[in-house]
Chains A and B, each alone.
Chain A
Amino acid sequence: MIELISHHPIASALIALGSLSLIFGAVLGFAAVRFKVEGDPVVAQIDALLPQTQCGQCGHPGCRPYAQGIANGEPINKCPPGGQSTINAIADLLDVEAPTLDEEHGEESDIPTVAYIREDECIGCTKCIQACPMDAILGAAKQMHTVIADECTGCDLCVDPCPVDCIDMIPVQTTLSSWTWEPPKADLIATDRKEHQAA
């Protein structure tokens, strides 16, 4: 045996390496099948981070299609309602550098809004009902419509279709139960940074 090996060093090395690779390949293949981790598909994970306004400002007909788009390599900065925090979260998930919001798709607004129908001006045309991605507008033909404020995501898709412009986007009112303390005023370090940026 030893003689055989010493006489055919190259051949025996090749055989040894080959058999090793076969064994390890088999082990790895077995492990890949046996210990497969069923991960949450990345699209669902991205979708969970998107704000679900279904506003379509990204150019997709809803949040999930955009999540699909991101999974297929689209830029992650096309969601104005989510703003920078959403971009950061997605960047964190996908382990990429977080870009700033692409202003082309709209500006980030700090104030959440909700649609409000001026009911005495509504003619009951149902166009907003068809436009609402959330089914958050109640009403029927010839009947005055109204917004279910709790379900409204503030996407403003209902504003344009309205033939009489009776829909306003108004800021969500803070109530006693939704009120919280503002974070403390930025301390000296942060103010300095702002001055620095301004300078």
Chain B
Amino acid sequence: MTQIWNIPGGIHPPENKQQSLRAPLGHIDLPAELVLPLNQHLGAPAEPVVAVGDNVKTGQVIAQPGGQFSAAVHASSSGRVIAIEDRPLPHPSGFAGPCIVIAPDGLDTWINLEPCPDYRAQEPVELVQKIRLAGIAGMGGAGFPTAIKLAPKANQPIDTLILNGTECEPYITADDRLMRDRPEQVIEGARLMAYLLGEPDRVVIGIEDNKPEAIAALRAAAEGSPIEIAGFPTKYPSGGEKQLITILTGREVPAGKIPADIGIVVQNVGTAVAAWRAVVRGEPLISRITTVVGEALDVQRNVEVRLGTPVAHVLAAHGFQAAKASRIVLGGPMMGYAIETGDVPVVKTTNCILAPSQQELPAPPPAQACIRCGMCSEACPASLLPQQLYWYARAQDHEKLEAYNLFDCIECGACAYVCPSSIPLVHYYRAAKGDIRQAQVDKEKADRSRERFAFRQERIARQEAEKEAKRAERAKAAAAAKAKMAEKKSNAGTASDPVATAIAKAKAQQASAQQSPVEQRAKLERQLSAAQGRLALAQEKLSQAETEEQAEKCRAAVKTAEIKLTDVQQKLANAKDAPKDDPVAAAIERAKAKLTMSPLEKLNATIATLSERLQKAEAKLAQAQTEQSAHVEALQLGVDKLRAKLNEAQEELASHSPTTADERAPDDAASAAIERAKAKAAARAAMSDTDKLREQVSSLEVRLDKARQKLADAEAEGSPHVDALRTAADKLANKLADTQSRLENA
């Protein structure tokens, strides 16, 4: 006999399990539409691999897992994909989310399955991958992808596999039905999972003792195998993963850890069957057993439902009387959530559709004052202090909430169930948990913002500092020049004669040249020999040059070398009979020589193309303006930019021209100037100030009209952006008025 441990707390709500167990497992017709949400479970949504209009077969993959914590989605019947769009999701928020909608053709043609009866011949890794691709996710509640649980990390040796057949929630009998009808599949599933987990020491199926038939059926099916069937006293919430672990092993999962950390894996019995079918028969998960129960229904039973079947369709097939129902709950009365519309589909985790009457589950009475009776702490299976948590949740004291271990609450609802004052305790905890998580997210964002802002400040400061340094350098240079000037002036004594200054300057220069004539000469001699070498090399290259282009280049190189050589020779000569000769002359010579090779042609060409582009742009701009196109602004900017570039090029050219105008490109400079003048004239003609303003006014008017139109639309739809749009429209109107007044003034 398996040893059973006790858990603290717990409650004994009316079980209400008989209603749905009287009838055998049923089947219902296919609905008109199958709605398959892309995120049916925790983790990233799946990515669709079919398009609207595609024909799909039963079991065909229609969406691939979108990440590690994701599972594949399969067509649950053959038919045509008629939409991939947002539909209401089975989620307490009532939000819509992306779904693939299939119109079944009624034929239910399957894809070719790949059965694998002898799975022991394959590696567990491959089988786990198979389970992953079959889209198996936890069918008990949270819908955690099964493949992840079946592939524990290497440092987590699993010694115990627990199959959870507890089903402690009132009303739900889906697992009970499964264990009674298909016990051999449950046992096979347990064997498969044990194989995948490396044959743990203990494989135990935990069932509450209010399901004697299921226990008997499983015991019979497990005859002769080491699989334990453990029945234990009925108490809600024994079926919670952590609670079940304690009941069957006496161990506790440490806070913030997962069962695999203590060598235990817990799987729902339904999940085990689904995994077995996926591996042995090759069937993906396309249907599940769901309990349909509640006094607002004519028929209460368990049915095998194709995933994606709208809840309303299931209810309609069981004689749902909307007037009698107090609400529709997906899941049980303790942990399920109420849905607002019957359009939401049945998904992998939908173990129960509960349609209770008003008498069955009346609306909660208004909450009375907490009298600190302590019944909640007696009922809490996690040994929390629910009333303290309630006070602090109301006071939004996040620190205290965490100190009282709010995050160890499993939201089983036992505390709220026993509360004599009908305080919605779990609701408070959920809201508080959400607030705390949000606060953490906000805090992280604020920290990141602080960092980014600090970085930006630093960057701006650095740029400023660089600018400042440059400015300081320039100022220093200017000051030095001034000082020099002043010095010279004082050197020249009282004479303010520019000639005297010039003489002084020349003298100073000569003095500096005289500083170390020997060294200078040595340097020049070195330069001379280098220049000679370079010249020889260039000449050699010229003789070897094959094409004209190359030859041209080489010739230029030869010439540079020659110039440099003569230059150096000249300098050397100067240096030799220094300080008689003037070095200034040499400098002029040098400058002249360099200029012979200056890229003047290039500049001129650039200017020519730029002015051509400018003309084109201006033409376009004018056209746009006459057509009142929306691109006027952009074009205007383009023209401005081109003009700026042109000016830049011209300036560059101009900087060269003083020394070259007489020698090389007088014509080019002149033509550039003419071009420039022309371009400017054209631009001015195209755009007088008033014209500009007028254009602005008209474009503003167009934009204002557009903005007003948008605003009206938004108001009609009651869009949340109305305010933003209204401010935008107001701003535009202001701008327009402003421009108009300027136009009048102009």
Tell me, yes or no, whether A and B come into direct contact in the complex with CB atoms closer than 8 A: yes
- CB-based contact B453/A52 at 8 Å: yes
Q: Does A62 contact B (CB under 8 A)?
A: yes
- Contact call B92/A181, Cβ cutoff below 8 A: yes
Tell which of B93, B442, B455 touches A179, judged by Cβ atoms closer than 8 Å.
B93
Most buried by A among B435, B446, B454, B735: B446
With a cutoff of 8 Å between Cβ atoms, the chain B residues found around residue A51 in the complex are 442, 446
Identify the stretch in A29-37, A68-76, A182-190 within 8 Å (CB) of chain B at 4 or more residues: A182-190
- Cross-chain contact B434 with A187 (CB below 8 angstroms): no
Q: Which residues of B contact A180 (CB under 8 A)?
A: 430-431, 433-435, 437-438
Complex Cα spacing A171 to B721, Å: 8
Nearest CB of B to A121, in Å:
8
Measured CA separation A63–B447 after assembly (Å): 12
- Known: A123-B633, A164-B633. Is A52-B93 also a contact (CB below 8 A)? no
Beta-carbon contact of B724 and A170 below 8 Å: yes
Known: A134-B456, A168-B721. A53 touches B89 (CB 8 A): no
Cross-interface CB contact of A153 among B449, B456, B735, cutoff 8 Å: B449
Closest chain-A Cβ to B98's Cβ sits at a distance in Å of 10
Residues of A within 8 Å of B154, CB to CB, are none
Q: Which residues from chain A contact B433 at a C-beta distance below 8 Å?
A: 180
- In the complex, chain A residues whose CB is within 8 Å of the CB of B455: 135
Say whether A168 contacts B728, CB under 8 Å.
yes
| Selected contact of B39 from candidates A62, A133, A176, A183, CB within 8 Å | A176
Residues of A within 8 A of B107 (CB): none
CA distance A164 to B731 in the complex (A): 10
Find the A residue at minimum CB distance from B456: A135
A197 at the interface (CB under 8 A from B): no
- Pair A47/B431 contact, Cβ less than 8 Å: no
Mark out the residues of chain B between 708 and 746 whose CB falls within 8 Å of any chain A CB in the assembled complex: 720-721, 724-725, 728, 731-732, 735
Contact status B731-A179, CB under 8 Å: no
In the complex, A178 has a CB within 8 A of chain B: yes
Closest CB-CB distance, B459 to chain A, in whole Å? 9
B450: chain A residues at CB < 8 Å are 47, 52, 63-64
Query: A193 to chain B: which residues have CB within 8 Å?
Result: none
Q: Is A151 an interface residue (CB 8 A)?
A: yes
CB pair A176–B89 under 8 Å, yes or no, is yes
A176 CB to closest chain B CB, in angstroms?
6
Once the chains bind, are B453 and A62 in contact (CB under 8 Å)? Answer: yes
Q: Nearest Cβ distance between residue B568 and chain A, in whole angstroms? A: 47
| B633 CB contacts on chain A under 8 angstroms | 123, 164
Whether A133 contacts B456 in the complex (CB less than 8 A), given A168-B724, A176-B95, A178-B438, comes out as yes
* Separation of A176 and B448 alpha carbons in the complex (Å): 23
Q: A98 on the interface (CB 8 Å rule)?
A: no
Q: Could you tell me how many residues of chain A have their Cβ less than 8 Å away from some Cβ of chain B?
A: 37
Give the docked Cα–Cα distance between A53 and B446 (Å): 8
Contact between A182 and B431, CB atoms less than 8 A apart: yes
Q: How far is the CA of A50 from the CA of B450 in the complex (A)?
A: 10
Q: Which residue of A lies closest to B432 (CB)?
A: A183
Contact with B along A40-57 (1 / 0, CB 8 A): 000000010011111000
A142 touches B95 (CB 8 A): no
Q: Which residues of A contact B97 (CB under 8 A)?
A: 176
Report if A181-B720 is in contact (Cβ < 8 Å); known contacts: A52-B447, A134-B453, A187-B367: no
A91 within 8 A of B: no
Which listed residue (B428, B432, B446, B634) contacts A123, Cβ 8 A? B634
Which residues of A from 117 to 151 have beta carbons under 8 Å from B?
123, 133-136, 142, 150-151
Cα separation A62 to B460 with both chains bound (whole Å) = 14
Which of chain A's residues has its CB closest to B699's CB?
A: A164
By beta carbon, the residue of chain A nearest B451 is A52
A62 to B449, CA, bound (A): 11
A53 to B728 alpha-carbon distance, docked (Å)? 22
Residues of A within 8 A of B89 (CB): 176
Decide if A192 is an interface residue (CB 8 Å cutoff).
Answer: no
Tell me, in angstroms, the Cα distance from A62 to B456 when the chains sit together.
Answer: 11
Given contacts A52-B449, A165-B728, contact A171 B720 (CB under 8 A): yes
Chain B residues near A133: list those with CB within 8 A: 453, 456
CB–CB A183/B449 < 8 A: no
| B393: chain A residues within 8 A (beta carbon) | 183
Does A169 sit at the interface, judged by CB under 8 A?
Answer: yes
CB of A176 within 8 A of CB of B93, answer yes
- In the complex where A53-B449, A151-B449, A184-B427 touch, is A169 in contact with B724 (Cβ < 8 A)? yes
Given A52-B449, A134-B456, A184 and B366 touching (CB < 8 A)? no
Q: With the chains together, A136 CA to B455 CA distance in Å? A: 12
Contact A181 B431 (CB under 8 A): yes
CA of A52 to CA of B435 in the docked complex: distance in angstroms? 19
A174 to B441, CA, bound (A): 14
| B 217-259 to A, binary, CB cutoff 8 A, 1 in contact else 0 | 0000000000000000000000000000000000000000000
How near does chain A come to B66, taking the closest CB pair, in angstroms? 13
Docked complex Cα distance between A123 and B638 (Å): 11
Say whether, besides A62-B457, A135-B456, A184-B431, A52 and B446 are in contact (CB < 8 Å).
yes
Q: Which residue of B lies closest to A125 (CB)?
A: B637
Min C-beta distance of A128 to chain B, whole Å: 14
Residue pair B634, A135 in contact (C-beta under 8 Å): no
Assembly CA distance A62 to B725 (angstroms): 28
From A135, A184, A187, B452 is in contact (CB under 8 Å) with A135
Contact between B428 and A183, CB atoms less than 8 A apart: yes
Flag if A123 contacts B637 (CB, 8 Å). Answer: yes
Q: Residue on A with the closest CB to B94?
A: A179
Q: Say yes or no: is B424 at the interface (Cβ < 8 Å to chain A).
A: yes
CA distance A82 to B369 in the complex (A): 32
Most buried by B among A51, A52, A176: A52
Cβ of B91 < 8 Å from any Cβ of A? yes
* A181:B452 contact, CB within 8 angstroms: no
Most buried by A among B428, B445, B732: B445
In the bound assembly, the distance between CA atoms of A183 and B728 in angstroms comes to 35
Once bound together, how far apart are the Cα atoms of A176 and B96, in whole Å?
9
Q: Is the CB of A176 within 8 A of B724?
A: no
| CA gap between A32 and B429 in the complex, in Å | 46
Query: Could you tell me the distance in whole angstroms from the C-beta of B69 to the nearest C-beta in chain A?
Result: 12
Q: How far is the CB of A178 from chain B (nearest CB, A)?
A: 7
What per-residue 1/0 map shows which CB atoms of B693-704 lie under 8 Å from chain A? 000000000010
Structural contact, B637 and A142, CB atoms closer than 8 A: yes
Give the residues from 384 to 431 in chain B that come closer than 8 angstroms, CB to CB, to chain A.
393, 424, 427-428, 430-431
Cα separation A179 to B337 with both chains bound (whole Å):
15
Of the listed residues B433, B456, B634, B735, the one surrounded by the most CB atoms of chain A closer than 10 A to its CB is B456
Partner of A54, one of B428, B445, B453, B728: B453
Hey, which chain B residues are within 8 Å of A176, CB to CB? 39, 89, 91, 93, 95, 97
Q: Which of A62-120 contact B (CB under 8 A)?
A: 62-64
Min Cβ gap B398→A in Å is 11
Q: Which residues of B contact A189 (CB under 8 A)?
A: 369
Min CB gap B365→A, angstroms: 11
29 A–B contact pairs at CB < 8 A? A47-B450, A50-B446, A52-B445, A54-B453, A62-B457, A63-B450, A64-B450, A123-B633, A123-B634, A135-B456, A136-B452, A150-B445, A151-B448, A153-B449, A165-B731, A165-B732, A169-B724, A174-B95, A175-B95, A176-B91, A176-B95, A180-B437, A183-B393, A183-B428, A183-B431, A184-B367, A184-B427, A187-B367, A188-B367
- Which 8 A-B residue pairings sit nearest by Cβ, starting from the closest? A180-B434, A52-B446, A52-B449, A183-B431, A181-B430, A179-B93, A168-B724, A181-B431
Q: Other CB < 8 Å A-B pairs besides A133-B453, A151-B448, A180-B434, 10 of them?
A: A47-B450, A64-B453, A64-B454, A134-B449, A142-B637, A168-B725, A170-B721, A170-B724, A175-B95, A176-B39
Instruction: Enumerate chain B interface residues (CB-CB to A < 8 A).
Output: 39, 89, 91-93, 95, 97, 366-367, 369, 393, 424, 427-428, 430-435, 437-438, 441-442, 445-450, 452-457, 633-634, 637, 641, 703, 720-721, 724-725, 728, 731-732, 735
